[in-house]
Amino acid sequence: MNKSPHVAIVGATGAVGVEMIKTLEKRSFPVGKLTLLASARSAGKTLKFMGAGIKVTELTRDSFAGIDIALFSAGGSISKEFAPIAAKAGCVVVDNSSAFRQDPNVPLVVPEINAEDCKKHRGIIANPNCTTAITLMALYPLHQAFGVKRIFASSYQAVSGTGAKALEELERQVEQIVNKQPVTKEVYPHQIAFNVLPHVDSFLPSGYTKEEMKMENEGRKIMHHPSFRASVTCVRVPVYRSHSVAVSAEFEKPVTVAAAREVLRKAPGLDVVDDPENKKYPMPLFTSEKYNCEVGRIRMDCALDNGLAFWVSGDQLLKGAALNAVQIAEVLVK
């Protein structure tokens, strides 16, 4: 891998694409050259990187000649079509969609957990689901210490997970309600302002949604833990950009709050914010625009054997997407 690679961002004008550009800059990633790619609709726009304006060009089958790393965040159908083309052109793709996550030939990576898996890539590396990534930041260190068997979890997912239009929808609806105007909706099936929707992604015949099953399926692959089980309810909440998850986890080995705290304090990319006496616990308001996830409300689970309950919160656009992708690129350059 070139030490100052030519990097492309596919879906550069979307909510995650914009964060990818900012993250490359903030982390001083050794970008030799940056190419911004998007649909014909967005081509011609100019985005800033390192003080210079870069023109967005249209994504075509010929876009990848000479590119070393391509960060994709333009949806599953674009990834399915263009990621193999990019890989064939000699580029390593870090894909933020769900298109390749369950492909046995594609590593699914959270660098703090399984950076080693990057070495097995055949041109494509998958970025996990945002809720899964944020949950595993706290769950994996506990798994290493105590051996997780299963979790029961509820997510509190920010609208940024749906994209830029959803962020606009929440803002618009809040304004409409405050000004006593009729509420209009385009992105979600119901009003999201001052409401919560127990519906993220599409429903499966089992009654779970695809999003809810990602925690189990992706968790197994990232943690190399094929018997891991997760029963999850995913809920969309009127929050802009940070996901939170309430987790009850059952472990093989006996666990104490003190031992769990000790493990979590040492975990990379995670801050322990757990001082309920002083009303300190992770909140989406304070984890937004932060690289690290936060964990708190750590307590013994009174309904499970060897059980621990905790609450984790992290920025959906960063650890849940752009930051994780850039960290994977950093592993590749190393």
CATH number, position 82: 3.40.50.720
Total domains in the fold of the chain: 2
Neighbour tally for 171: CB within 10 Å: 13
The active-site residue, picked from 91, 143, 243, 293, is 243
Q: Is the pLDDT of residue 284 over 90?
A: yes
240 burial type by CB count under 10 A (0-12 exposed, 13-18 middle, 19+ buried): middle
Helix (H, G, I), strand (E, B) or coil at 31: coil
pLDDT digits (tens, 9 = 90+) for 191-243: 999 999 999 999 999 999 999 999 999 999 999 999 999 999 999 999 999 99
The active-site residue, picked from 130, 143, 234, 293, is 130
Residue 186 lies in a domain: yes
Mean pLDDT, rounded, for 282-288:
98
Claim to verify: residue 35 and residue 179 sit in the same structural domain: no
Mean pLDDT, rounded, for 169-190:
98
pLDDT band at 252 (very low <50, low <70, confident <90, very high): very high
Q: Is the pLDDT of residue 261 over 90?
A: yes
Rounded Cα gap, residues 71 and 185, in angstroms: 31
User: 């656009």: which residue's tokens?
Assistant: 317
Q: Is the pLDDT of residue 58 over 90?
A: yes
Claim to verify: residue 174 and residue 45 sit in the same structural domain: no
Mean pLDDT, rounded, for 94-112:
98
Query: Is residue 91 flagged as an active site residue?
Result: no
Q: Which residues pair with 211 in a beta bridge?
A: none
Q: Over pLDDT 70: what percentage of the chain?
A: 100
Query: Is residue 118 flagged as an active site residue?
Result: no
Residue 292 lies in a domain: yes
Residue 1: predicted pLDDT? 83
**Strand ordering across the sheet containing 307-315:** 229-236, 148-157, 242-251, 307-315, 293-300, 270-272
Claim to verify: residue 73 and residue 151 sit in the same structural domain: no
Claim to verify: residue 163 and residue 118 sit in the same structural domain: no
Mean pLDDT, rounded, for 4-8:
97
Claim to verify: residue 147 and residue 263 sit in the same structural domain: yes
Contact between 246 and 233 (Cβ < 8 Å) = no
Claim to verify: residue 164 and residue 303 sit in the same structural domain: yes
DSSP characters over 147-183: -EEEEEEEEEE-GGGG-HHHHHHHHHHHHHHHTTPPP
Rounded Cα gap, residues 164 and 161, in angstroms: 9
Claim to verify: residue 151 and residue 213 sit in the same structural domain: yes
Q: Is the pLDDT of residue 2 over 90?
A: no
Q: Which domain holds residue 233?
A: 132-316
Residue 119: predicted pLDDT? 96
The rounded mean pLDDT for the chain is: 97
Claim to verify: residue 164 and residue 286 sit in the same structural domain: yes
